[in-house]
Structure 1
């Protein structure tokens, strides 16, 4: 049967005391905790060492005094005059001799007795002739009967002493004829130990003070290393960091200066196709991700932004940033995300922007047309107003008819119509080759990719033409789907591109325009074509415009 533990039970009291101590320590600051803990450690260690030292000192002093008493007693027991005096029971001779020997050996007493244990010499003459065990607390049997020397610590007639008792043998060494007892006071030992105890207390106090100073210094240094936070705050930040790493949709990997993984979140494990059951913390990075460039960043200390990582089944966009502590590189953090997620977001934004541009262009253009028509009607030029309306309707109708026949895909046709209106808004002409033919766009080809590629190239061509040729400039677009590729040719009337810069123009951040934020469109075009297995060529002559030709295979790459 189970028995309940009542209140007041020792187990309950122990648990309550433990909880009380824990709550008390939690309310203290780190510095106070360190002073308290280090002080208690110093107190316990110093006290333990002190007790051991006092015990060892007492034992050593007892042994030394015992050995000294034994040596003196053995020397006296072998003196011929003492042996003769004991045989003759000559107290008159032995009494003054014992006093002289005690004085010269600094002994508390030298007592000599016969074979019956009767005192023959004693510091107090009134005790001569009396048995030694009456007030010495010893019966002397070990020395008188067994003939053995021994030490004893006892309280006798002269107080607590360390005494050595040695038998006195006859000259022929065939019989015990008496006993010699030499004693040394233990009060001196107690005085020495008391003095050491006082010294020990001073050492303990100094140790506590030193521990407090060390605790203050260490606490300040430690808190500076953890940015002045308390341990509970550090623990909370660690938990928050862990939750944050697991909540973000980007993969994150961090390594230390030795190239070992210190942090890796679930998204990184899932994106890289690693085993989710395995713990990768502490593992060498190159054993987990052999083709990682984080070791290059660790060696060079140069960050890498928006780097493309080509893997067999996916493409990643990665950023790698070194971690520094002062001038020393302590590790590298890498965040990465699937390119298709970024591309999807970019496509959605591009489509929204294209629709907005198209609507703005149409609104602006038709507003101007309406104002012109209204002005013509007000001045009575109704024939010219009707001609302008017919011309505008005919122009749009021709474009719509061309797109309907040549480009039945609504997404691509809508993009081209929006770019046509954008060109009209800029006072430019987007001329689409009437011989264009784009009927066989494969179903697997992402329309968002195609729109991004063509839209960026047309936008670049319109800007280049506007800045170089001005109003009235033209951009030519030709399309064909004959053969195994979809081919788009965009030609502008811009300033052209120098031969030495034609390869670099597709790199991120490289542009002919000096405004901030350019140099992304052609890089995106190149990346999208690479993912589709396509290619792009450039023919340009400075001052005579540029011609971009895009090839997109119909079959999947």
Structure 2
């Protein structure tokens, strides 16, 4: 189904739905309001009649109906009620629209509360049919001596509601007809504006155009007849040194490019090729061609820009790569010599010299290795700590393992990768913190213990500390106080996630410009 057909059907169905809901709600409300209004009106008339002195005095006569019937009928005609019935305590009628029913007993069975002295509105069936009644007691010297019943037939109320419903249906039908015509004109104009293309086709063409523009290495800039930019790709943003988030569409091209030939191409309608143009100190070759409409009129121009110095830059990069390769070759040769030396020591049986040689190369002391082998026998954790020790040495950071540390009782089912994630990210953050502390001493301490039911991991550094303002945000992914955006705001969120999966928790304490301590507790048994 095509767009304009969907649009017409959609608007028509919407109008029908809204009209139906409105008609149903309005008629229901009107029926409720009309019944309430009629009931209150009947009750008001009944209460007024109950206070008429002539009515009360008539009850003391031998034949009250002679006095009450004319008064009741006169009032009934004035208020346009269907009936006004007045009866005594025995429910004997003294008034009725049909005089032949005088003296008979009242019908409906809804006078009980009235004889208790209460005025009511009831919906009952009488001799004239279903009716809405207002009933009021007649008092004489504080006692109820009779009842006044004023009523309107339900059939009359329904007739009024039917008239209202017909009017609402007519209005809804006229609105629907008008909506169909509006939908037709809207869909017709939209079809012309989109050249008969469907939304899926337009979306596909837009995505295709965007992909083509971004796949082109050259910068593309298109303008309209007024010199305003209509199309620009990311390469052009980069060449113009304008952030991609800044919208260039709609801006004048001469505000961004001085002395550009694009405006001349629009005015003359002639294409220009391989024109040199200087942008931000770089020379570019520009090709500009006019954009023509179906009638052959110039409606804009498009230009492609290529960096003339790209070839020179490419050659320079190749030279750098060659120099880097030569450096790697020399480093490989030197490393091979060291391996041959180590191999010779082993073949000669000089194992102690070989071990000393290895220790000297990796800058790890024998005491640390013995300590890790004794207190942290797990090879994954111990090897990871050794690696961080070497990294700290290269970064000129004092990284110490607390001599009270012990990780001997490490359960088999504890995920070593998660432990490495926790320790590694905490230590990396500590390294970053001490590198920025501005102090001569850059110290990081790691403490591990498995005493008790939990594994405890503490990392302390003498960095600048954590501002209390950020205490609620440091574990959120993407949050960082670093100036760089590269891999920032991820470490602590990974730590938090790994700890949560292992059923533990993490806390920290921090003194501004002094130190920060992160403490992690992980139960050896889940739920422990």
Normalising by the residue count of structure 2, what TM-score does the alignment of the two structures yield?
0.49
Instruction: Compare CA radii of gyration and give the structure with the larger one.
Output: 1
